[in-house]
Structures are given as structure tokens and as C-alpha cells.
């Protein structure tokens, strides 16, 4: 292959990548090829490709057949029947422009007069006016010309009959209108006429090379197809069925901004154009899923020929119920799709492309394209979620000595801290990093996490309960759990990979240790990737002591005035230095300072940390909140205060 031809073959790929949008169209055409083989076996050919469902998935399930008797030159009546999907080619429907006629005289009924005049009559008229059709199919054109005259003369009666039948339809059920021409005792439908078959195919192919806006044919001759990489007699310039690519602006046109040479941007032969249509249709019907409010295509890529058909068969059952473990049962159906994809396909010769998109009228905006995702990666993602959620501290988190709660860690947390309306880009970036095994900046995550925890804290402070939002405790433990999950996946740039916890316990009891110091240090060692510097331990233990003080205040006064000293969680190193003696003094005032050992431990960590703290500012409120909300998992027994549930 010459250098010029090679560049031409890759031109489209380079254009798209240059705009930050990537899509493996080769994979789409391979899916289309499998679908075409099935159509060839059925004998439907291109009509099966381009004919559309006139019922629109059952919305227009009643069929109104306008019966015309050619022998007697009369309109007889309207026959009503139910649509059967096996009759798709019988009615041969394909939508045209919204204001104009459809490609054939079969149309969904909106209003009787409008549909009959603007769709049925207009379609027959357009067909007869096309000389290439009327001259090639003279006998059929003559029948249609006679039919057109009959319909025009009976127009008022036909419209009245349609209106009457529409009124008899059940509420919210629709119908489509079509022709039934009777001749010599035989019934002929739209799909029986070669003139309509040819019109449907030609008109459908026309959009691959003819621009109505510029009234120009974009066809290259004796050129290389950018998909099959073969030299073809003709290649089309408008065959892209994914509308993120456009040539309606000069900046996107090759050939010195000459529109008639724009086919060079993306040359596709007629055969591959058909495969693209079939492949996209398959994706739309079978491999389009939702994830946290976003749609995406799950596109399989295979190394070995003949493997794709097996993969598609496996993927077609992704929505089916499987056997799930305890944690997976509580995941949304949308996440089970990815679980099943990882479970069903274990070969390393398969990978997935996850193409997140948003439809905006005719445009397809690509939000995120994650390529080369192995089934083993999907399995690791969800197996680790399962392992984390099975750990006792999350599966049975101690709210009090006699009350426990399951706290689930999953992708829903990412959507919580990055809402769709305001931070969708950050959500997509984080999902991409997790699935693609890319390191995530800790400070990038910490800011929204602390904002989420702070919001919950303020609601608690005001006594507000919102069933649609996590309370302060749940928000804090979910944040800890998700960061712990990322540690387990070795995804946080600033931290070492964390293995499973070193203990199966979800509670630390003083009686199991020689001292409180030993108890807390065992906890810190268990989660050593979180408590790697003394500053974090200071914040955690001050949060712990604050929670104990608040419980004592409430137990004595039914109020928690010390909350006001926490500045709405806008805490810094100076606040930690300020709060520590304040907490000690308040405990002494209540004659309830049962935590001398803990206070000594905090003092030792203060000394160890020194004057210059190494942690980010936002670590202070995070670890402080962690200490407050994990206070219930440390049992000392000698204290005389009751735990207060959030």
C-alpha cells in the first residue's frame, strides 16, 4: 500500500482522535457482518436492513389497511388487523422527513387527514414522479397511478373512516396506515411492489453519499475504504452512522476545504456502509446499557476470527438473573451488567470498549470512551467490591453495643460526590481511572468527600433528617470504605496498596488489650495505609473524644452545645491544638473524664507530629469525622455514657 493510500485509509481515525473522540468502527462492522450473514440466510437481503418497525415497538400495533379494488376502480373500505413482527417486509415502512412523505405509503397515524394526505398520497406521488423508478417499473407505476386517482376521489370518505376507527381504539393505543391493492382476487401490499423495494434501498443508500444541504454527491472512485482497507470502485463520504462526526463546517473538510472532496475524510465502500448500519442497529438493541444515569455501548473486541459470534451470544444474556453473592444482590441492575460481562467471558483474547454517550437531537455526544477493558479487569473491580463489603467493619458496622448496620461500598458513592448536574465530568474521569487501572490523585477526591461529609454534619447540627441523603455517620463510613476500596485496588497515587484487613473483627474492646494505647494502635496498624503519620492519629482520636463528650452532654443535659465549637467542620491544625484542652476541661466539668490514657496518647502523637504537619488541610476534618463516627467500635466499659445514634 502506498504512503498516500495508507494516510487516506487512516484519515478518519486521525480526525476523530484529534477531536478527543475515539470509536472502534472496525468492531462495529464485524458485528454488522455477523448480522448480515443471518439476513442472507433468511433471504431478506437489504430490505431487512433498511425496513423499519411501523409499530414503533408496539406503540402503533393496529394496522389500518386502505383497500383499493383495481378491477372495479373503487375504494372498498379500511381493513383493521393487528401488527405481527413477521410482516415487517409486507408493509415495508421507512420514515422520511418529519414534515414530508415517508419512503413508502405506510405511515404512523397522527391525525387522519394529515397522515393520509402528507404521507400516503404524497409518497405515491413522489414515487411516480421519480422517472428512474416509473420507467423501470412501468406496469407497477400504472397500477399506482390508478390507485392514486382512486384515493384522491375517495379522500373525504377515507379520512372519515380513519377518524371513526381511531375513536374506537383503546386509550393510548395507536395505529399505522398502509395500502392493500386487490387485483383479480389477489391481495397486494406495499412490500409486494418492486418499485417500492427499489425506492427504499436507493433512498437509504443515498444518505451515505448525497448531501441535501449542499446538493452534492460525495463519492470517491477507485479508492481505499477506510474500514475494510480494500481498493473499491466507489467509496461514500457520508457513511458515518455515529453523528459525532460532521462535515458541515469547513474546519472538518479535507481537500483544501472543497466540499466535493470531503469524502476523503471518511471513505467507506457501499458494503461496509451496510455493515455499519447493521452493527449500530445491533448495538442499539442489544448492547446499550445505563450506568448511574448515563448510557453506554458495550462493544466487544476479539483477537481470533470466529470468536465474536460466541461473545455476542454470551453478552445477549447480560440482563438475565444470575446467582449473586450477598453483596452483589444489593448492587443496581446496571452494575450487574458489568459483573456478568466479567463472569461470562474469561478469555484474555477478548476486550471491551465502553463508549459513554449522550443523544442531543440528531447528535451523538461522546462523553467517555474506555478501551481495551479485559473481562479479568471487570472481575477484579467487582470481586474487590465484594471482598470489601464482606469485611465485618462494613457488613456489621457497630452503631452501638446492640445495634449494627450494613454499609455498602459501590460506584454509587462516586455519583454521590460528583452529581450528574454539576460534576458529571469528574464522575466520568473517576470511573475511567477505576476501570482503566489509572492512579487517582488523593487530593482530587478528598475535596468532594469532605464537602459531602460536611454537608451531612451541618444537617445533623441543625437536626435535619433527609431520607434521600446519607446521615453524618453513614457519609463518613462510606467515604472511608470507598477510599479503602481504592487502596485495595492500588489506585490512589499517594498511597501503597492495602491488602485485606489483618483482623476479622469489627469492634475493638479494651478488655482484649493491655491498654487503650495498645487497642488504638492495633486499629491503626490494621488500617495502616490510612494512619501512616501521627497527625492523622491526632485528628482521629480528637474526633473520638469529641463524640464521647457530646454523648455525655446529651446524657446529662439533652443538648450538645460543644458542637458549636467545631466550626461546621472547617477545622485546621490550629483547631486541633485549640480543641484538645477544651475537650479535657469539659470532660472534667462533667466529672466524666474516663479517657486519661487516650489523652496521653494524643499528647504523644502531637509531640511526634511536630510543628509542621505533612497532611493536606482537608485531612483534618476527614480524620476528625472518622474518629467521631467510629467511636462506637471502641468499647472501654468503664465509661458512664450512652451512645447516641445519628
The length of the chain, given as a count of residues: 646
Q: Is 130 strand, coil or helix?
A: coil
pLDDT, position 75 = 98
How far apart are the C-alpha atoms of 159 and 118, rounded to whole Å? 12
How far apart are the C-alpha atoms of 645 and 643, rounded to whole Å? 6
pLDDT, position 210 = 83
Secondary-structure percent of the chain, ordered helix, strand, coil, rounded to 5: 50, 15, 30
- Interval 310-331 mean pLDDT: 72
pLDDT, position 346 = 73
What letter would DSSP give residue 469?
Answer: S
Query: With b meaning 16 or more CB within 10 Å and e meaning fewer, what string describes 131-165?
Result: eebbeebeebbebbeebbebbeebeeebbebbeeb
How far apart are the C-alpha atoms of 416 and 370, rounded to whole Å? 22
Mean pLDDT, the chain, integer: 87
pLDDT, position 305 = 74
- Interval 80-109 mean pLDDT: 93
How far apart are the C-alpha atoms of 7 and 116, rounded to whole Å? 51
Query: pLDDT tens digits for 119-171?
Result: 999 999 999 999 999 999 999 999 999 999 999 999 999 999 999 999 999 98
Rounded to the nearest 10 degrees, the angle between the axes of helix 122-129 and helix 194-206 is 80
Kindly tell me if the per-residue pLDDT of 327 is higher than 80: no
User: Which residue in 570, 569, 616 sits closest to 442, CA to CA?
Assistant: 616
Which pLDDT band holds residue 506 (cuts at 50, 70, 90)? confident
pLDDT, position 569 = 97
- Interval 278-306 mean pLDDT: 90
Kindly tell me if the per-residue pLDDT of 262 is higher than 70: no
Question: Quick count: other Cβ atoms within 10 Å of Cβ 422?
Answer: 9
pLDDT, position 593 = 86
Query: pLDDT tens digits for 362-403?
Result: 677 888 999 999 999 999 999 999 999 989 999 989 887 678
User: Which residue in 347, 396, 394 sits closest to 375, CA to CA?
Assistant: 347
Kindly tell me if the per-residue pLDDT of 45 is higher than 70: yes
How far apart are the C-alpha atoms of 336 and 357, rounded to whole Å? 20
Identify the sign of the CA torsion 131, 137, 138, 139: negative
Kindly tell me if the per-residue pLDDT of 479 is higher than 50: yes
Q: Is 228 strand, coil or helix?
A: coil
The more confident residue out of 346 and 624 is 624
The more confident residue out of 107 and 40 is 107
How far apart are the C-alpha atoms of 549 and 84, rounded to whole Å? 72
The more confident residue out of 438 and 266 is 438
Which pLDDT band holds residue 41 (cuts at 50, 70, 90)? confident
Please identify which residue in the block is written with the cell numbers 442489544.
286
pLDDT, position 332 = 65
User: Which residue in 181, 111, 99, 169 sits closest to 142, CA to CA?
Assistant: 181
pLDDT, position 344 = 77
pLDDT, position 638 = 52
Instruction: Quickly list H helices, 463-502.
Output: 472-488
Question: Quick count: other Cβ atoms within 10 Å of Cβ 361?
Answer: 6
pLDDT, position 51 = 92
Q: Which three cell numbers stand for residue 215?
A: 446538493
Half-sphere exposure of 213 (CA within 13 A, CB side): 7
How far apart are the C-alpha atoms of 213 and 248, rounded to whole Å? 9
User: Which residue in 391, 279, 278 sits closest to 28, CA to CA?
Assistant: 279
Kindly tell me if the per-residue pLDDT of 11 is higher than 90: no
Query: pLDDT tens digits for 157-192?
Result: 999 999 999 999 998 899 999 999 999 999 999 999
Which pLDDT band holds residue 204 (cuts at 50, 70, 90)? confident
**Long-range Cβ pairs for the range 636-639 (8 Å, 24+):** 636/510, 636/516, 636/594, 636/595, 637/509, 637/510, 637/511, 638/510, 638/594, 639/548, 639/592, 639/594, 639/595
Predicted model pTM = 0.80
Q: Which three cell numbers stand for residue 423?
A: 460534576
Helix (H) or strand (E) holding 377: helix 375-390
User: Which residue in 184, 151, 135, 179 sits closest to 74, CA to CA?
Assistant: 151
User: Which residue in 21, 93, 7, 3 sits closest to 52, CA to CA?
Assistant: 93
Share of the chain above pLDDT 70, in %: 87
The more confident residue out of 90 and 43 is 90
Share of the chain above pLDDT 90, in %: 68
Query: pLDDT tens digits for 558-590?
Result: 999 999 999 999 999 999 999 999 999 999 999
User: Which residue in 29, 123, 44 sits closest to 85, CA to CA?
Assistant: 44
Which pLDDT band holds residue 329 (cuts at 50, 70, 90)? low
How far apart are the C-alpha atoms of 582 and 350, rounded to whole Å? 61
Q: Is 11 strand, coil or helix?
A: helix
Which pLDDT band holds residue 646 (cuts at 50, 70, 90)? very low
Q: Are the C-beta atoms of residues 404 and 396 closer than 8 Å to each other?
A: yes
Which pLDDT band holds residue 15 (cuts at 50, 70, 90)? very low
Q: Are the C-beta atoms of residues 196 and 127 closer than 8 Å to each other?
A: yes
Q: Which three cell numbers stand for residue 349?
A: 483474547
Kindly tell me if the per-residue pLDDT of 478 is higher than 70: yes
User: Which residue in 581, 573, 577 sits closest to 618, CA to CA?
Assistant: 573
Which pLDDT band holds residue 62 (cuts at 50, 70, 90)? very high
Question: Quick count: other Cβ atoms within 10 Å of Cβ 80?
Answer: 13
pLDDT, position 251 = 41
Amino acid at each position: 500500500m502506498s504512503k498516500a493510500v495508507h494516510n487516506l485509509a487512516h484519515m478518519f481515525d486521525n480526525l476523530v482522535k484529534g477531536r478527543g473522540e475515539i470509536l472502534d468502527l472496525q468492531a462495529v462492522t464485524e458485528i454488522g457482518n455477523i448480522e448480515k450473514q443471518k439476513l442472507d440466510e433468511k433471504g431478506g437481503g437489504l430490505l431487512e436492513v433498511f425496513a423499519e418497525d411501523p409499530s414503533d415497538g408496539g406503540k402503533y400495533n393496529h394496522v389500518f389497511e386502505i383497500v383499493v379494488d383495481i378491477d372495479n376502480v373503487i375504494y372498498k373500505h379500511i381493513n383493521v388487523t393487528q401488527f405481527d413482527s413477521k410482516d415487517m417486509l409486507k408493509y415495508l415502512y421507512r420514515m422520511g422527513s418529519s414534515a414530508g412523505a415517508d419512503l413508502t405509503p405506510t405511515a404512523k397515524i397522527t391525525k387522519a387527514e394529515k397522515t393520509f394526505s402528507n404521507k400516503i398520497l404524497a409518497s405515491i406521488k413522489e414515487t411516480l414522479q421519480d422517472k428512474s423508478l416509473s420507467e423501470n417499473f412501468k406496469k407497477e407505476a400504472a397500477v399506482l397511478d390508478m390507485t392514486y386517482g382512486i384515493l384522491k376521489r375517495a379522500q373525504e370518505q377515507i379520512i372519515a373512516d380513519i377518524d371513526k376507527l381511531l375513536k374506537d381504539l383503546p386509550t393510548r393505543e395507536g395505529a399505522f396506515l398502509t395500502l392493500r391493492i386487490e387485483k383479480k382476487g389477489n391481495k397486494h401490499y406495499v412490500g409486494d411492489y418492486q418499485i417500492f423495494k427499489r425506492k427504499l434501498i436507493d433512498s437509504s443508500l443515498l444518505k451515505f453519499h448525497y448531501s441535501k444541504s449542499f446538493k452534492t454527491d460525495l463519492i470517491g472512485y477507485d479508492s481505499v475504504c477506510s474500514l475494510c482497507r480494500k481498493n473499491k470502485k466507489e467509496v461514500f463520504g457520508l457513511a458515518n452512522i455515529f453523528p459525532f462526526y460532521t462535515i458541515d463546517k469547513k474546519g472538518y473538510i479535507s481537500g483544501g476545504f472543497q466540499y466535493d472532496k470531503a469524502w476523503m475524510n471518511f471513505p467507506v465502500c457501499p458494503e461496509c456502509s451496510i455493515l455499519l448500519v447493521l452493527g449500530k442497529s445491533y448495538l442499539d438493541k442489544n448492547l446499550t446499557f445505563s450506568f448511574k444515569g448515563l448510557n453506554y455501548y458495550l462493544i466487544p473486541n476479539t483477537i481470533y476470527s470466529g470468536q465474536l459470534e460466541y461473545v455476542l451470544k454470551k453478552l445477549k444474556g447480560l440482563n438475565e438473573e444470575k446467582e449473586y453473592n450477598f453483596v452483589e444482590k444489593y448492587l443496581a441492575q446496571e452494575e450487574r451488567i458489568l459483573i456478568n460481562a466479567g463472569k461470562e467471558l474469561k478469555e484474555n483474547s477478548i476486550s471491551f470498549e465502553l463508549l459513554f454517550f449522550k443523544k442531543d437531537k440528531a447528535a451523538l455526544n461522546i462523553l467517555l470512551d474506555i478501551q481495551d477493558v479485559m473481562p479479568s479487569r471487570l472481575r477484579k473491580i467487582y470481586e474487590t467490591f465484594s471482598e470489601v463489603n464482606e469485611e465485618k467493619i462494613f457488613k456489621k458496622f457497630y452503631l452501638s453495643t446492640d445495634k449494627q448496620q450494613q454499609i455498602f461500598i459501590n460506584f454509587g458513592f462516586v455519583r454521590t460526590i460528583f452529581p450528574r448536574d454539576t460534576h458529571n465530568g469528574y464522575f466520568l474521569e473517576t470511573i475511567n481511572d477505576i476501570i482503566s487501572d489509572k492512579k487517582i490523585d488523593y487530593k482530587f477526591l478528598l475535596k468532594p468527600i469532605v464537602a459531602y461529609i460536611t454537608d451531612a454534619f451541618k444537617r445533623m447540627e441543625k437536626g435535619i433528617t433527609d431520607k434521600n441523603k446519607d446521615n453524618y455517620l453513614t457519609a463518613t463510613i462510606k467515604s472511608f470504605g470507598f477510599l479503602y476500596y481504592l487502596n485495595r485496588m492500588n489506585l490512589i497515587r499517594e498511597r501503597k496498596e492495602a491488602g485485606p484487613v489483618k483482623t476479622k473483627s469489627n469492634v475493638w474492646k479494651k478488655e482484649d488489650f493491655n491498654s487503650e494505647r495498645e487497642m488504638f494502635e492495633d486499629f491503626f496498624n490494621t488500617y495502616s495505609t490510612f494512619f501512616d503519620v501521627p497527625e492523622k492519629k491526632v485528628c482521629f482520636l480528637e474526633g473520638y473524644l469529641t463524640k464521647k463528650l457530646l454523648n455525655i452532654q446529651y446524657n446529662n443535659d439533652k443538648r450538645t452545645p460543644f458542637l458549636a465549637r467545631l466550626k461546621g467542620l472547617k477545622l485546621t491544625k490550629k483547631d486541633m491544638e485549640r480543641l484538645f484542652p477544651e475537650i479535657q476541661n469539659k470532660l472534667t466539668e462533667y466529672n466524666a473524664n474516663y479517657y486519661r490514657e487516650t489523652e496521653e496518647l494524643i499528647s504523644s502523637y502531637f509531640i511526634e507530629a511536630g510543628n509542621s504537619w505533612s497532611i493536606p488541610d482537608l485531612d483534618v476534618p476527614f480524620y476528625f469525622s472518622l474518629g467521631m463516627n467510629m467511636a462506637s467500635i471502641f468499647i472501654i466499659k468503664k465509661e458512664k455514657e450512652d451512645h447516641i445514634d445519628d
